[in-house]
Amino acid sequence: KYGGHRYIRRDQQELNIRGAVTEVENSAFVYDEYLPEEEERKVDYYDMLHQRIWNIPRNFLDIWPEVLSEGSFGTIYRGTVQRKSQSTDVAIYAILDSELATEDKRSMLEGLDILVRGGDHYNTLSLTGTCESQDTLYIVMEYHPATLKDVLLQSRCLQHGENPKSKFCSLSESAVFEFIVGIAQGMDFLASKKIVHKQLSCSNVLMADGVIPKITGFGVAQFNRTSKKQDYTRWSAQEVLARRIYVTKSDVWSFGILVWEVCALGGTPYRQTANEQVAGAILRGLRLHQLRYVGDSLYQFMLQCWQIDVDERPSFPQILTDLNVLCTDSELNMELNFNVYKDFQYEGYSENLERY
């Protein structure tokens, strides 16, 4: 157990990879054997989705003019939805369904299907429902304004003049480690659904109530809140950089980078390496350094995630087992320590290195 939640799966068998991989909105992948093919559909795919999700009446939905992001199929707005006499903040993806080409419509529906299957977990972004109005399809998702990246950068208390000064992070070590555990739980769930994320990073984790990590960036769940797009090169596995191969173990590599990023309180991976050089450097063996306040066991865990041979990397069930060992009080005190020490400096963060 950790933080009152049980997270270790009993089934330790690694997921087998079968079938070709299909890209959906450049944000998540799912094995083709799980995608409904056009010729195999006995009923309209909209009807299939309606059986699985809440079809929201239009008068229950209030769409605000605030634009959160531009997606591949339309615009994502902030808004609210009424349910059981309560108003809930949501993100609303407005798609002009009638204007989509056949292939775009199929891609959009597949992305929606991924969100439906992948969002049914405490640590993944969930779909609230859909709403149809004339020619527009509204995909309604839970909304949280802060990303894990935001929370980590804000926790740098020495930069914000916060007390106490004996610590360089306003969050406790156990709270930060619980973020890592929650993301591992969510990724284990996505892997069990044969979904390969591809874009795992702290910027693609939203924080519910500032403490509960919710993985986003898969299916149609896109939240690019700035005019610049995220560059995921620094989080990408060697096989992705070399051959554009995406498998679950590629996500394991990215998870290891995310763990370093969390421990670095939002620092940019490989910050000393220019964007045009970072892919080649990783392929030649460049790895992230051990932070001074991170213990050997936790750093060795990261190194295991960055093995060149994908079979040598741990599966997500194994990752949960390893984290369960590391998160005991006696171990965690040795593996992550936010006490200020002489010559301490935060790991640098550069938006220009992470976005383009």
- Closest to 213 (Cα-Cα) out of 145, 123, 127: 123
Strand partners, 95: 74, 137
Give SS3 for 127.
strand
Torsion of CA 156, 181, 191, 354, to 10 degrees: 10
Give the C-alpha separation, 170 to 163, whole Å: 8
CB 76 within 8 A of CB 206: no
Residue type present at position 329? D
41-48 LR contacts (CB < 8 Å, sep 24+): 45/109, 46/109
In sequence order, the 6+-apart residues with CB closer than 8 A to the CB of 321 are 8, 12
CB 192 within 8 A of CB 15: yes
> Which H helix or E strand runs over 195?
strand 195-196
Q: What are phi and psi of 34, to 5 degrees?
A: -100, -5
Give the CA distances from residue 347 to residues 215, 228, 262, 289, in Å, rounded to whole numbers and listed in that order. 24, 22, 11, 11
Which alpha helices (DSSP H) does 9-145 contain, by range?
Answer: 45-50, 102-118
Tokens of 187: 């990724």
Residue 204 is labelled as binding a ligand: yes
Going by the annotation, the residues of the binding site for Mg(2+) are 204
Going by the annotation, the residues of the binding site are 204
